Structure 1
């Protein structure tokens, strides 16, 4: 049914008049930071209105990286680097646990 509708839209010219026609789709925020094996399951959960805890960890990691880049003092950089390191270790352990349990 979807394919028929798309074909009809293409034939009528409606599809070609769309602003994004023929252009690659924009990647959603955090897409490149998300491991390949999580991209589709997380997209399904997002569409269902469910946010996995791992996604929040990826957002926190991105935020810490941005703060680290804009840090102005050595003390602030060290503290942010320590927090980032701890977060990345926790994230790595969670992902490894998921791999070991077969959930990944």
Structure 2
């Protein structure tokens, strides 16, 4: 799964959608990838006005998985080491 980061948003990890599949299908693939990793703990789904999100952790470090109806799927993480682990996890898929 291909990821990207914008220079002005180093705490956000985005996902490319080259196959132009439905964004919800892309999000479900991301969620499934995380669920397949025994080091990832996924919290309860929460719903906001325009997004669904899950508070998660990878080896004890927290991050948030987001599905925004306007902007699609992304991950927010303020720890650079954890962000690099997440990038490696998705690039391997």
Bucket of the pairwise TM-score, normalised by the shorter protein: under 0.3
Higher strand share: 2
Structure with more relative contact order (C-alpha pairs < 8 Å, separation 6 or more): 2
Question: Which of the two has higher C-alpha Rg?
Answer: 1
Query: TM-score under structure 1 normalisation?
Result: 0.20
Query: TM-score under structure 2 normalisation?
Result: 0.22
